Structure 1
Amino acid sequence: MRRALAPALLALSQIAAAQEPGVADRIQASIDLRERWQWLTRDIATPPDWDADGRRFHYRKTVEGGYAFVDVARDGGDKRPAFDAVALARALATLRGKPVDPLRLPFDAFDYADNRTAIVAQIEDDRVRCTLVQAVCTVVPPGPQPRPRGFGVVRDLRVPADNHPRLSPDKTLEALAVDHNLVVRAAGGGKEVWRSQDGSAGDFYDPETIAWSPDGRHLAVYRVRPGYPRMVTRVVSSPPGKVQPELVEQLYPKPGDAVDQERPVLFAVADGRRTDVADTLFPNPYHLSELTWRRDGRSVAFDYLRRGFGQARTIAVDAETGAAHVAASDDPATFVFRDRIFGHDVGGLGREIVQASERDGWRHLYLVDAATGKVKRRITKGSWTVRDIARVDDDRRRIWFSAGGYVPGQDPYYKQWFRVDFDGRNLTRLTHADATHELRFSPDMTRYVDVYSRTDLPETTELHDAADGRLIETLEQGDITRLTAAGFRPPERFTAKGRDGRTDIYGLVVRPRDFDPAKRYPVIENIYAGPHDSFVPKAFWPFGGFAGGDKVMGMQQLADLGFVVVQIDGIGTANRSKAFHDVAWKNLDDSGFPDRIAWIKALAARDPAVDATRVGIYGGSAGGQSTLNALLFHPDFYKAGVAYAGCFDNRMDKIDWNEQWLGWPVDQSYLDASGVVHAGKLQGKLMLVVGEQDSNVDPASTMQVADALIQAGKTFDLLVIPNGEHSAGRSSGPVPYAMKRQYDFFLRSLRGEGVADWNGPTSPRP
């Protein structure tokens, strides 16, 4: 019997071997899809940059083979190339020592300089200036640099502070630090007038924080007690051009570490009299903002964020007495969202503050009496959320802003734009298309350029009169004819109810280009559930990061291998109500999974081709953490995952992001979300990918998960990218190795396919 079966088994193995190169070829075709499609759109423009005088603006748009920059007059009509791209490419090639394609210049944006005879752009780590009359490019030497701070809260004392003398308003005196003390002397290094006497290395006056009052009578400065200088040490195993490994160190404060303690101090310039400001109103600061004097010089103000992110205040201090009072405050029951704190001192006089707050459950604008800290009146209200605040006009007492959820029945993540008066009257909607809008206003607020789109509607770029919204000119109309002819189909927008059966959850569905409704397809979720934003694309442009969680192209590449790929914004992400967002507070292990699972099940109930019994998941950074947690906490639903550069244990990650969402001090909520603590719960198939030189998330976080999985006897795949940074493996790059490995992993784990040997002589090469 065994002898009879042997020829049949051999024949089957030969058939399988013959099929394997086909799978490899399919994977390579998916990898190559981005390059084939990326240059097929026309006239899709980015939001513009205005000149400082408001006379012209410029933007980048897609053209045959790449991009072009366009320069336009403020009233339209006069459109022309922003510069000679061919000449500029030659000049950049000379500077960089390698060819530069004029249709693919190595920058996305630029500023005109020297009366428009030159441009300045950021190219990788360099600021580059290029003259235009005769194209010559040079690197702009960096000016004085502030002392680095680890995630903004611990100064790197290995680096000297920027201690250049700060001139008084009348330019007769200057202030600086000498031997950790504050010194005032005659300008130009002249005779010393006075110096403080109590500074030391452990309690010093920071020269970078010196602030002169407008009348020159007072100085404000922060006195600093240094925090804990935690260093993360990484081994560079494969330094380019060298044989032996190297070590690098990074100042990297983590949750619970002591941060720099800053205390504002006032000095009378005439005699050096010092006034310490009592910290009664700002105890236990996580961060204090720059010291800002009111225009009349009678008080100085700063913003205070309490450790644990539970309170944000604007504190005003009397220049003569040092007495402090709360000019505005936000005191939620859960957290203040640091990225969305907004306060505008009307007229710079400390009398009124325009404040953004979620105190009623939605982010809205308020006018606050800065003398008492009490709200004078609401400016906006309703079950919708204020997003961007573009301008506050103190003279006209008017505000321009964007909002989501204002239009009933419209996707609440679409941004529409408005203006409103300080008293809440004359709320005027400026944009109307059923799409998401990005506006850029001229400096005098008389014109704006509107770039609007949806995932199924390419960008339209229009110039408008800001007074009445009148259309002046349609500047560009995105054309995707060739992209569509090549097989592109927009992702499907799908909405289903979340965990409570009431809340609408929004997402996208990407199917294979050869989708057959009679077949059954495994599902793969592209996850990024960080509470700091929402992530499902709303605008059209589909090209971007492969596993970054925010672009359609990578989802299409994966879908073409025989999957339905989805992306969802579950409860706990931003840009909806405060209650929607609060679910993430001290609850990062949730990641909106109850909503995501309900959404995918609803999709499968509607579409029999969607197989909700074979579900995979992938993501990077916070999305990597969510990917692992899907397999740990929801193994009955998620069967396979690829986790890139995950912050798997929040105690190991950077201080700012993690204390924002899990609070301070470090408590049980950190353990509840930890992939290290819960590694023994792993079911399903897991692949971990990490860059050896990740400076965003300590790469030891991945290795500690690997160790815990080994200790628990679990099997998994681990891919370490030598020299790789935080995004290693998450973009196609010149050698899309991790991309290839991810595709192979999902084919094996969810479809029973895969490439047996990537090293065979017929395997595709990048």
Structure 2
Amino acid sequence: MRTLKFLSLGLLSVAVAVSNLQAQGTRADYRRSAELRKRFSGKVFRDRIRLRWFADDRGGWYQVDLGGGKREFVLVDIRRRKRRAAFDHEDLAEALTEATGKEFDPEKLPLEGLRFSADRKHCWFRAAGKGWLCERDDCKLQEAEEPKDFDTGSDRQPDDWKRPGFESPKNRRSPDGAWEVFVKEHDLHLRNRETGSELRLSHGGDQKQSWSDNVFWAPDSKRLVAYRTRRGAEHTVHMVESSPEKRLQPKLHSHQYLKPGDEIPLTRPHLFDVSSGREIPVSDKLFSNPWRVRELRWNKAGDRFTFRYNQRGHQVLRLIEVNARSGVARAVIEETSKTFLDYAYKQFLFYLDDTNELLWMSERDGWNHLYLYDARSGKVKNQVTRGHWVVRGIERIDVKARQLWFRASGLVEGEDPYHIHFCRIDFDGSNLVRLTSGDGTHQVRYSPGADYLVDSWSRVDRPPVTELRSATTGRRVCRLERADISALEEAGWQQPERFRAAGRDGRTGIWGVIYRPSNFDDEVKYPVIEKIYAGPHGSFVPKSFRSSFDTQVLAELGFIVVQIDGMGTSNRSKAFHDVCHKNLGDSGFPDRILWMRAAAKTRPWMDLSRVGIFGGSAGGQSSLRGMLVHGDFYKVAVSVCGCHDNRMDKIWWNELWMGWPIGPHYAEQSNVTQAHRLSGQLLLIVGELDRNVDPASTMQVVNALIKADKDFDFLLIPGGGHGIGGSYGVRRRQDYFVRHLWGVQPRRGDSE
């Protein structure tokens, strides 16, 4: 079904000058848009390095791209706190030319296998098919075999720290090798590997309840824990492939896909004594309704085991300990929430066995932080991190020094609260050290010995700076590189603009980015398009530098494109995040609209009488929702593969944010039940073989719109999966916005 309503187009564009109309959406604009990535590609230099460290973290070397095939070899001197050329490139080129009779360009030295002596006075490399020993000071050369004691350096990061007993190993065979577990006739059995005798551990098994023979053995092999899982519901989703390759007739595809409210598999741990073969009963009172039981772990003595229990509904999380002799279970830690516990993205558990402690992540004080627990009493010894900022992840843990390294955002007052910084802190919460500095978001690589870190930081409007810092104090050793974007700017690159405005509460900062076309003219009033993705599992506005974004490709057709992180998304306070609870339809729209209005007050070229919106998946749900609930603001939407009714989408993602049991709020948040409210121009796109979001979700919106006698456009992608349908879908989206926001026929002849 496809209806083009040129009358409404005229209403949208009535205030737009004819000269401006003729300047947008032409074939030339489309060509410029299509070529934008290529036009800006390869125009940024000195932005990436990979430092190769010498032994014991005593400096290192790297080569850096200067553009046009040119490169520089750089030596890093830790003691002198400086970077310098690894050798005089011109002198070395002359020496190579003289030694080989071939011409060498000092800016394009083709050195392979470069390595350095321990005193750094010499280096060795291969060039022109030979090995060369070079005196670094004067570039004197002599042919030589590769010296065995020269160091080529290593870019290996420190060995990943192990999370002790994150989960005990699962195995069929006991640690002492005497026993082996197997499943026969739906029950668990034990075999003595020496005598071959068998012992039946469980009884009454059937096809609906299955045992795993990968069990958790106590370290002394005297006991074991096995998972038994009761099968959940089967929810089969059928999809028809209308145009399969190499056959004429349609093809049916079916797969299992649990949806909110479905009966889920029920997994419980069972404890067995090996010598007697009897089960030691463990009351499941503390874990009777699991969404998931995981991270089961025995202590070293083999007399206790723990596991993490997440209750269905995601409002109760427990670390449960079971006495292996008595089977008595207790909650070492219990977390509860009236909204949700973000188990999928904000959980961390680290056992400190030697001191009977553990590290635990929680949002209990309103921000995502770390806590140190007494593992025996279950009491908090101290809060490790605290403040109106959030821990984003753990980098390293030094158990002996009782320190940990972590990523955080919101730590620096006045900066964008999504900027990531790296820090170190003691287990007792003292000696917090911010290891990175610079108003941007940071990425680091540690030296092999973890003594130093190479920090690259940037913003969407600031090219990367790369620095070498101490991983203990954060002190800067030296600046290594500052990216060169002069060629990018000469190519007409438009710098994205960061913007902050107050959200719906009048206080909370809402952050976003504005993209303009490369031929931007501040005398023109441009339609505004929002790219939306409001999934509560993250935050999505870009924070680091890139030479081009897909948003800029769309802006090139004559639009101002914006991206915003509204309330309900992650990586801010718990209250900020909780806005999404049972409320995915909100999508942060009150904040987004306020943000655009605030931006337009000082940017008269933003025409808020012509606002479009687009997104895919959760963004597809939100883009349509904006039209249904805020049709006075959003006039045009392109919604791709949207999860339009959260009862139709995958179980884990939707129950986490929308809750369980399924209540009337699911229907209230559905785009299907609200489809009758549509105003404006809507294009729905879906792939007929989408396995991520059931395509029936979009089809039910189509059905509801037809029943409500609404005009809209619909594109079904034969054989398409989860996405817009490749370049054709992208072009249709571009055309839709040009046609309905500019009121012109897209891709007109340049002279028309």
| TM-score category of the 2 structures, normalised to the smaller one | 0.7 to 0.9
Aligned residue among 143, 148, 173 for 2:179: 173
Show the counterpart of 2:657.
661
The alignment status of 1:214 with 2:225, answered yes or no, reads: no
Deviation at 1:238, TM superposition (A): 2.3
Show the counterpart of 1:679.
675
Show the counterpart of 2:742.
751
Q: TM-score, length-normalised on structure 1?
A: 0.78
Show the counterpart of 1:37.
40
Code of the residue aligned with 1:461 in structure 2: it is: T
Code of the residue aligned with 1:199 in structure 2: it is: G
How far apart are the structure 1 equivalents of 2:533 and 2:208? 41
Show the counterpart of 1:202.
208
How far apart are the structure 1 equivalents of 2:85 and 2:652? 45
The alignment status of 1:269 with 2:260, answered yes or no, reads: no
Change (3 A) 1:477 1:179: farther
Change (3 A) 1:637 1:419: same
- Contact 2:433-2:473 within 8 A present in 1 as well: no
1:310-321, aligned counterparts within 5 Å? 310-321=315-326
Cα-to-partner distance string for 1:126-164 (whole Å, 9 max, x where unaligned): xxxxxxxxxxxxxxxxxxxxxxxxxxxxxxxxxxxxxx9
Aligned residue among 713, 719, 725 for 1:717: 713
Give the secondary structure class of the aligned counterpart of 2:445: strand
Deviation at 1:24, TM superposition (A): 3.3
Change (3 A) 1:188 1:306: same
Deviation at 1:389, TM superposition (A): 1.4
Code of the residue aligned with 2:258 in structure 1: it is: P
1:415-426, aligned counterparts within 5 Å? 415-426=420-431
- Contact 2:62-2:74 within 8 A present in 1 as well: yes
Cα-to-partner distance string for 1:624-665 (whole Å, 9 max, x where unaligned): 100000000001100000111100000000001100110001
Give the secondary structure class of the aligned counterpart of 1:338: coil
Give the secondary structure class of the aligned counterpart of 1:325: strand
Aligned residue among 716, 730, 742 for 2:733: 742
Deviation at 1:370, TM superposition (A): 2.2
Show the counterpart of 1:457.
462
- Contact 1:346-1:394 within 8 A present in 2 as well: no
- Contact 1:624-1:646 within 8 A present in 2 as well: yes
1:467-506, aligned counterparts within 5 Å? 467-472=472-477, 474=479, 476-506=481-511
The alignment status of 1:603 with 2:606, answered yes or no, reads: no
Code of the residue aligned with 2:551 in structure 1: it is: M
Show the counterpart of 2:530.
525
Give the secondary structure class of the aligned counterpart of 2:380: strand
Moved more, 71-80 or 636-645: 71-80
- Contact 1:460-1:477 within 8 A present in 2 as well: yes
Change (3 A) 1:535 1:323: same
Deviation at 1:28, TM superposition (A): 3.5
Moved more, 430-439 or 649-658: 430-439
- Contact 1:440-1:450 within 8 A present in 2 as well: yes
- Contact 1:618-1:642 within 8 A present in 2 as well: yes
How far apart are the structure 2 equivalents of 1:49 and 1:177? 51
Show the counterpart of 2:617.
621
Change (3 A) 1:568 1:542: farther
Deviation at 1:356, TM superposition (A): 1.2
Deviation at 1:333, TM superposition (A): 2.2
Show the counterpart of 2:106.
none
The alignment status of 1:394 with 2:399, answered yes or no, reads: yes
1:246-285, aligned counterparts within 5 Å? 246-285=251-290
Code of the residue aligned with 2:359 in structure 1: it is: V
Change (3 A) 1:620 1:630: same
How far apart are the structure 2 equivalents of 1:692 and 1:682? 24
The alignment status of 1:560 with 2:556, answered yes or no, reads: yes
Code of the residue aligned with 1:230 in structure 2: it is: H
Change (3 A) 1:333 1:558: same
Cα-to-partner distance string for 1:388-443 (whole Å, 9 max, x where unaligned): 11123322211111211121111111111111111111111111111111233356
- Contact 2:526-2:607 within 8 A present in 1 as well: yes
Change (3 A) 1:462 1:679: same
Code of the residue aligned with 1:192 in structure 2: it is: E
How far apart are the structure 2 equivalents of 1:188 and 1:71? 63
Aligned length: 646
How far apart are the structure 1 equivalents of 2:711 and 2:268? 52
- Contact 1:533-1:575 within 8 A present in 2 as well: yes
How far apart are the structure 1 equivalents of 2:745 and 2:243? 30
How far apart are the structure 1 equivalents of 2:275 and 2:192? 12
How far apart are the structure 2 equivalents of 1:557 and 1:468? 42
Cα-to-partner distance string for 1:58-80 (whole Å, 9 max, x where unaligned): 99997859999x99999899999
Change (3 A) 1:638 1:728: closer
Aligned residue among 512, 517, 520 for 1:512: 517
Give the secondary structure class of the aligned counterpart of 1:581: helix
Aligned residue among 723, 732, 741 for 1:727: 723
Q: CA RMSD in A?
A: 3.4
Deviation at 1:444, TM superposition (A): 5.1
Give the secondary structure class of the aligned counterpart of 1:604: helix
Deviation at 1:237, TM superposition (A): 2.0
Code of the residue aligned with 2:30 in structure 1: it is: I
Code of the residue aligned with 2:564 in structure 1: it is: I
Show the counterpart of 1:24.
27
- Contact 1:254-1:654 within 8 A present in 2 as well: yes
How far apart are the structure 1 equivalents of 2:332 and 2:733? 53
1:133-152, aligned counterparts within 5 Å? none
Deviation at 1:498, TM superposition (A): 1.0
Show the counterpart of 1:161.
none
How far apart are the structure 1 equivalents of 2:236 and 2:75? 49
- Contact 2:435-2:470 within 8 A present in 1 as well: no
- Contact 1:688-1:717 within 8 A present in 2 as well: yes
Moved more, 669-678 or 653-662: 669-678
Deviation at 1:747, TM superposition (A): 0.9
Code of the residue aligned with 1:30 in structure 2: it is: S
Show the counterpart of 2:152.
none
Moved more, 419-428 or 439-448: 439-448
Aligned residue among 331, 335, 342 for 2:347: 342
Change (3 A) 1:21 1:58: same
How far apart are the structure 1 equivalents of 2:593 and 2:672? 24
How far apart are the structure 1 equivalents of 2:699 and 2:344? 30
Code of the residue aligned with 2:741 in structure 1: it is: L
- Contact 2:441-2:544 within 8 A present in 1 as well: yes
Cα-to-partner distance string for 1:209-262 (whole Å, 9 max, x where unaligned): x11111211111111111112121111222233333222222211000111111
Give the secondary structure class of the aligned counterpart of 1:281: helix
Show the counterpart of 2:300.
295
Long gaps (5+) in structure 1: 1-14, 81-163, 544-552
Deviation at 1:488, TM superposition (A): 1.0
Change (3 A) 1:243 1:287: same
Code of the residue aligned with 2:305 in structure 1: it is: V
Change (3 A) 1:611 1:382: same
Show the counterpart of 2:98.
none
Q: TM-score, length-normalised on structure 2?
A: 0.80
Moved more, 319-328 or 240-249: 240-249
Give the secondary structure class of the aligned counterpart of 1:541: coil
The alignment status of 1:332 with 2:323, answered yes or no, reads: no
